[in-house]
Structure 1
Amino acid sequence: MLLPPSEQPLCVSSQPPLSGVIVLLLAAACGLSVANVYYSAPLLDQIARDFHVAPSMIGSAITATQIGYGFGLLAVVPLGDLLPSRRLILWQGVAASISVAGVALAPSFVFLLISLFAVGLLSVLVQTLVAYAANRAAPTERGRVVGQVTSGVVIGILCARIIAGALTDLIDWRAVYAVSSVLTVVMAVTLTAVLPKQEAPEAQLSYLALIRSTLSLYRDMPILRGRGVMAFLIFAMFNALWAPLVLPLSAPPFSLPHTEIGLFGFAGLTGALGAGRAGAWADHGYARRTTILCFLLAVVSWVFIAGLPFSIWSLIIGVLLLDFAIQAIHVTSQSLILANARGVGSRIVGAYMAFYSLGSAIGAVLSTMIYAYAGWIGVSLFGGLLGLVGFFIAASRKSENRQQGEG
C-alpha cells in the first residue's frame, strides 16, 4: 500500500540539479508535445467541412483527444516512477509521432477520432517531463522550476493555434499534423540524447500495483482532491473559450482567415507568461491568496469576452486576463501538490492532471453545443459560472500548507 507523501522515504537524486539550459529544453519539449493536443481547436470548421460533421458535434474531436489524455494520465504517466526517464521519453515520443501521423492521414471522421484519442493518450509525455523537472529541482526552487517548465506547456497550447492557423491557410489542415509528427520524434530523440544516462527507477512495483497506488493518492492527499477540482474548473474554462472561438470569428461579420484567428493566441500567450512567477508566489506562502484573486479575475475576464459580437478588443483583453488567471492557478496548484512528492511525483502529476483532462473534455463539448443553441453570450455565461464556482471553492478552503500537504 502506498504511504502518503509525508511518510515516504526521501529519494535524493545523486545527479546535480537541473541547469538552466535543461529547464529551457524541457519547457520547449513540453510545448511541442502538448501542441499536438490543441492543434484541432482552430481547425474545427475545416475538419467539419471535410468530413461533413454538424457544427454542434464537431467538439467531439477535442473531446476524443482529452479522453485519451485522461486515460494516459492514469495509465502512462505513473510509469515515470517505475522506468528510467530516457527510455520512457523515447518510446512515448515515437508512439506519439505515429499517432499524429494517423490524424494527418485520416480517411474518415471515425478514424480521425480514434487517432486523436491516441494522440491524447501519448501526449501525456508532457506530464512525465513536468514530474521529472520537479523531482530533480532543489526543494527551495521547485516552484520556480515547475513554473518555468509549465510555461512551456501554455506556450505550446497557445502557439498551436497560431501555427495551425498559418499552415492551414498556406497548405491544408492535414499539413499541421504531418509537420508535427516529424518534430515530435526529433524532440524525443533530442531529449534522450541530452538527459542523464544513469537513472535508477524510483519505484519497485508491478504495473498493477503502480496504478493502484496512483488511485490511492485521491484518498491519501486532501490537497490533491481540492486542487484537482480547481484544475477541472480552470481547464473547463480554458476550452470553453478556445474550442468554439473559431466559429464566431470565421463567420460574418468577422470572417477572419485561420491565420488571423490563430493570432489571438498571442493575447493568451502574453497573459500566461505574465503568470510565470506564480510558482515563486507559492514558494513564499501566497498560494491561497493567489488562487482566490485569480478566480475572481477569471470571472471578470468573461465580461470582456462576452463583448466579442461588438468588439474584437474586448475579446483580446478578456483572453489576456483569463489565460493569466488560469496559468497562475495551475502553476500554484502543481507547486503545492509536488512540494513533498518524494518518489511519487509522476503519479501525483497524473492523478492531478486527470481532473484537467476531464474539465477540458467537458468544457469543449459543452461550449460548442451551447454556442450552437445560445450563441456567444451563452458560452460566456457558461465560462463565467465556472469561474464563480471556483472562486467560492477557493475562498471557502482553509490555508494550504505545503509541508503537510493539507487542503
Structure 2
Amino acid sequence: MNQTESSYNLSGSKPLPSLELSPGLIWILAIGAGASVANLYYNQPLLVEMGQTFHVSASRIGNISMLTQLGYAVGMFIFIPLGDLWERRKLITHLLGAVIASLLAMFIAPNILMLEAASFAVGITTVVPQLIVPLAAQLAKPQEQGRVVGLVMSGLFMGILLARLISGFIGFIWGWRTMYLLAAGLMMILMLLLRINLPKCEPENKQITYISLMVSLGKLIWEQPVLRRTSFMGGMLFGAFSLFWTTLAFFLNKPPYSLGSNVAGLFGLVGIVGALTAPYAGRLSDRKGPRTVAGAAAGISFLSFVILGILGQHLWGLILGVILLDLGIQGAQIANQTQIYTLLPKARNRLNAVYMVTYFIGGALGSALGVTLWSAWEWQGVCWGGLGLVLLSLIIWKFNKKSRRG
C-alpha cells in the first residue's frame, strides 16, 4: 500500500470478501442505475406544462431542473461517502425509501414553491446510481473494470434517455403529475428488487468515523490532481449537456417546430444511439487509455454544438446534433470515471463523490445558464453557451496529462 492510499484507511481494516460479479448481477446493477437516475430527468420535457400549471415564466420554471441537479450534488456530498462506511445494500434501500417520499411530494405540490422544494428533495435522495457504479467497479476484475463500468453506465444512460421519452408522452396524455406518481411506484418495485438481489457488501473501513470520512474528501481533492482536473472537465461537459436538454422543450415549443412535450421526450430516443456506445467507450478506455477517449469525446461534443447552432432549425440537423452530443458526453463520462477509479481502489466511493458532486454542480450551473441564455438570445445563445462550456473542458483536458492510464 502506498503512502497516499494508506492515509485514507485505518490500520486493521479487513479486505472485502470476494464476490462474484455474474452477468445477471451486472444486469441488475445496470437496471437499478437506470431506473433510479431517471428521477432526475423526468422534469425536462415537462417544464412547459409545469410552467402553465403554476403560471410562471420560463426562467422561473427552469429552476426545477437546476434545483434537482443541485440537490443531487448535495445528496452525493452527504451520502455517497457513506458507501465507504456503511453496508451498501442497506444504504441503497433506505435511500430508495426516501426518494419515494420526495416523488410523492412532487405529485401533490400545490404551488411553485413546494414544487421547487420537492425537486430539490428528489435530487438529494436520488443518489443510488452513484453507489451502484463504484460497487460494480469494485466487484469487477481489474482488467475488466472499463467494460463493467461501461455496461452499468449504459443502463444509467438508457435511464436518462428513456426518462425523457416516457415523461414526455405521459405528461402529454395524462399530465405531468401522473409521471411522478408512476415514478414513486417504480421506485417501490426497484427497492424490493435490489433488496432481494444485491449481495451484502460491507465496507472495508468499519472503524472510520463520518467526520474522518468527510475530511478525507478534502485530502483526496488536495492530493489527487487527476481527480481535480477530471472532475472539472466532467462538470463543464455535463453543464453543456444540461444547458441543451433544459432548453430543448422551449425551443421545440416555438416556430418552426411548435411541438409539445411528447416530441421533446421523443428526442431522448434519438440519444439512445449514444447510450448504446457506452460499453465500447469502456473497452476503448481499457485499450487506448481513458484520457485519450475523454479528449476525443469532448471534441465530438464540441462538434455537436456547432451543428446545433448552424442546422438546429432543421429537424435532421437537430437530430444529428443530439446524437453527437449524447455520444460525446457519455463517452467522456465513461472514460473519466474509469480514470478516477484506478487512483485509489479503496476510496472509490469518495473519489466518485468528489467527481459526481462537481459533475452535477456543473449540470446545475448549465441549466441555470441555459434558461438565462434562452431568455436573452434564445437558441443561438444556448448554442454559444454550450460551445463555451465544452471549450473549457477541452482546455482542462489539455493539462490533465498525469493520468496513470491515459
Stretches of 4+ aligned residues off by more than 4 angstroms: 6-12
Q: Answer with 181-190 or 341-350: which moved more.
A: 341-350
Deviation at 1:368, TM superposition (A): 1.0
Query: Which structure: greater helix fraction?
Result: 2
Note closer, same or farther for the CA distance 1:105–1:365 as it changes in structure 2 (3 Å cut): same
1:243 aligns with 2:228: no
Query: Which consecutive unaligned segments of at least 5 residues does structure 2 have?
Result: none
CA–CA separation in structure 2 for the residues paired with 1:3 and 1:209: 17
The amino acid that maps onto 1:202 is E
For the residues of structure 2 that align with 1:357 and 1:54, how far apart are their CA atoms?
A: 24
Does residue 200 of the first structure (1) align with residue 179 of the second (2)?
Answer: no
Contact 2:151 2:278 in 1 (8 A): no
Contact 1:370/1:378, CA 8 A, preserved across alignment? yes
Q: Which residue of 2 aligns with 1:67?
A: 70
What residue number does 2:308 align with? 305
User: What is aligned with 1:185?
Assistant: 188
The whole-number CA distance in structure 2 between the counterparts of 1:4 and 1:172 is: 53
Residue matched to 1:50: 53
- Deviation at residue 300 of structure 1 after TM alignment: 1.1
- Give the TM-score, by structure 1 length: 0.94
Contact 1:306–1:380 (CA under 8 A) maintained in structure 2: yes
**Cα distance in 1 between the residues matched to 2:393 and 2:386:** 11
Whether the aligned pair in 2 keeps the contact of 1:307 and 1:315 (CA below 8 Å) is no
Alignment map for 1:67-106 (pairs within 5 Å): 67-106=70-109
Post-superposition offset of 1:12: 4.5
* 8 Å contact kept, 1:235–1:356: yes
Is 2:354 aligned against 1:351? yes
In the alignment, residue 166 of structure 1 is paired with which amino acid?
Answer: F
Identify the residue that residue 5 of structure 1 maps to in structure 2.
Answer: 5
Closer/same/farther in 2, CA of residues 336 and 87 from structure 1, 3 Å limit = same
Match of 2:170 in 1: 167
Which shifted more, 250-259 or 112-121? 250-259
2:398 is matched with 395
What corresponds to 1:372 in structure 2? Answer: 375
- Alignment partners' CA distance in 2, 1:317 and 1:11: 50
CA distance in 2, matches of 1:379, 1:329: 21
3-state DSSP class of the match of 1:56?
helix
State the match for 1:231 in structure 2: 234
2:75 and 2:168 mapped to 1: Cα distance? Answer: 27
- Shift, 1:185, TM fit: 1.9
Change over 3 Å in CA distance of 1:214–1:399 after alignment to 2: closer
Q: Distance in 2 between the 1:350 and 1:230 partners? A: 15
Three-state SS of the structure 2 residue aligned to 1:362 is helix
Q: Distance in 2 between matches of 1:319 and 1:11?
A: 46
Structure 2 length as normaliser, TM-score?
Answer: 0.94
- When structure 1 is superposed on structure 2, of 9-18 and 280-289 the one drifting more is 9-18
Any conservation in 2 of the 1:8–1:342 contact (CA below 8 Å)? no
Task: Decide which of 31, 35, 40 is 1:37's aligned counterpart.
Answer: 40
Q: Find 1:120's aligned residue among 120, 123, 148.
A: 123
Indicate if the aligned counterparts of 1:147 and 1:277 stay in contact, CA closer than 8 A: yes
Q: CA RMSD in A?
A: 1.9
Task: Tell whether the 8 Å contact from 2:246 to 2:371 is kept in structure 1 after alignment.
Answer: yes
- Is 1:261 the counterpart of 2:235? The answer is no
Q: Deviations over 1:37-62 (max 9, x none)?
A: 11111111111111111112221111
Partner of 2:289: 286
- The unaligned stretches of length 5 or more in structure 1 are none
> 3-state DSSP class of the match of 1:201?
coil
Report matched runs for 1:205-224 at 5 Å. Answer: 205-224=208-227
Is 273-282 or 356-365 further displaced after alignment?
273-282
Cα distance between partner residues in 2 of 1:178 and 1:377: 36
Contact 1:4 1:221 in 2 (8 A): no
How much has 1:142 moved relative to structure 2? 0.9
Distance 2:45 2:139 in 1: 36
- Fraction of identical pairs, as percent: 35
Q: Which amino acid aligns with 2:323?
A: L
